[in-house]
Amino acid sequence: MRGLRRVYFLTSNRSKFREAAEIAFASDFRLQMLSAPKIEIQSEDLREIASYAAKEAAERLRLEVVVEDAGLFINALKGFPGPYSSDVFKRLGTKGILTLMQHVSSREARFYSAAAFCVPNANPKCFAGIVRGRISTRERGKGGFGFDPIFIPAMGDGRTFAEMTNSEKNRMSHRAQSFRKLVRWLSSVRIGT
Amino acid sequence: MRGLRRVYFLTSNRSKFREAAEIAFASDFRLQMLSAPKIEIQSEDLREIASYAAKEAAERLRLEVVVEDAGLFINALKGFPGPYSSDVFKRLGTKGILTLMQHVSSREARFYSAAAFCVPNANPKCFAGIVRGRISTRERGKGGFGFDPIFIPAMGDGRTFAEMTNSEKNRMSHRAQSFRKLVRWLSSVRIGT
């Protein structure tokens, strides 16, 4: 077990945890889900939200923690729902987004992820991932979570994220990208310790 | 000028400041607008958001500060836009809300305000105000700000907040209520100091 290092992923979202843990699995790190209070600030910038939360939690819990913040930014809606995507999902669902987009022909959108890592007494380090695509005209698929049933990634074959298997989504998703960068960085800085 | 005491209202919203200053004017306090960074957390509870921001700013700036957070909560939309009302206003405007409400007959909503006061090295004190009403079917009026053109208070005569004069709105608004409570409390605790 030499080299296997535990990093705590502060989240209460099991689907999110599962996606991230799969990415980290091939590395020297094991993500452990940690359900604890988290201070999320309001900001336009997901990196700022994730970094603040990671720093605050690392100091309070005295642990090495990862916090990830993700959001769906729709061009025609000036970036809505953006940083408040999970709150908007809870209140309006995918149906609310489809209603807002009903007469909108320009359907470009992007999913963005910011994964911040922090050790007590240090500054947080943040990694971003982005996937461009478009909003579908109706819900499709049962996989994924959140707004996945209405998001069609541009680099895919026309299916929504929710129509893909986990590993298909993980090949291109915003979260996969940010966590891959994080894991690569963690591996590099640990060499020799 | 004996007894006139300056309290800093941390906000960059001039309309909000004007409303609050009018309420405080008859008291022993003068609100002074202070445009400085503010840490707003994400929460379902506006009192939590205002209290955290007031405490953080009081310690950082070493000043007596007031922070107010307000939101429009629409029953049929599970409280949307709620704590993120100003962000939603910027991205979707009143038009977005009317689109979401287009086939909705139950139009009950409430405006909520939480005004938190904090002195350095002390705990914040928070006061709430609420006004019940409904969402109009179209924008009406040029007064107020934010979602005022689509909110009809139940205790009014059918006009929206934006169709009222400032002093008419101040007789019943959520913000007027929270600030009136705050000013009353400030006056009471200062006696004898």
Quick: pLDDT tens for B124-167. Answer: 999 999 999 999 999 999 999 999 999 999 999 999 999 999 99
Name residue A190's amino acid.
Answer: R
> Among B183, B186, B140, B162, which residue's Cα sits nearest to residue B22?
B183
**pLDDT, mean of residues B95-110:** 97
Instruction: Provide the mean pLDDT of chain B.
Output: 93
* Contact call for B82 and A87, based on CB within 8 A: yes
Which residues in chain A touch residue B46, judged by CB atoms under 8 angstroms apart? none
CA distance A167 to chain B (A): 31
**pLDDT, mean of residues A43-67:** 97
CB neighbours (10 Å) of residue A120?
14
Nearest residue of chain A to residue B97 (CA atoms): A100
Map residue B111 onto helix, strand or coil: strand
**pLDDT, mean of residues A144-164:** 97
**Does the structure show a pLDDT above 90 at B107?**
yes
Residue B62 near residue B4, CB atoms below 8 Å:
no
- DSSP annotation of A31 reads E
Quick: pLDDT tens for B62-85. Answer: 999 999 999 999 999 999 999 999
* Contact with chain B for residue A128, Cβ under 8 A: no
Q: B90: which residues sit within 8 A by CB, 6+ positions away?
A: A78
**And the tokens for B128?**
């709430």
For position B190, what pLDDT does the model report?
62
- Its ipTM equals 0.85
> Among A137, A83, A86, A90, which residue's Cα sits nearest to residue A112?
A83
Instruction: Provide the mean pLDDT of chain A.
Output: 93
Nearest beta carbon to residue B100 from set A79, A82, A100: A100
Nearest residue of chain B to residue A81 (CA atoms): B88
* A-contacting residues in B 5-44 (Cβ below 8 Å): 39-42
Q: A191: which residues sit within 8 A by CB, 6+ positions away?
A: none
In this prediction the pTM is 0.90
**pLDDT, mean of residues A119-135:** 98
d(CA B185, CA B179): 10
Nearest residue of chain B to residue A41 (CA atoms): B41
**pLDDT, mean of residues A89-108:** 97
For position A193, what pLDDT does the model report?
43
Q: DSSP string spanning B139-188?
A: ---SSSSTTGGGEEETTSSS--GGGS-HHHHHHH-HHHHHHHHHHHHHHH
* Contact call for B82 and A100, based on CB within 8 A: no
d(CA B46, CA B130): 12
Give me the domains of chain A, ranges plus CATH numbers. Answer: 5-190 (3.90.950.10)
Chosen from B39, B40, B41 to mutate, greatest number of chain A CBs within 10 A: B41
Exposure letters B96-112 (e unless 16+ CB within 10 A, then b):
bbbbbbeeeeebebbbb
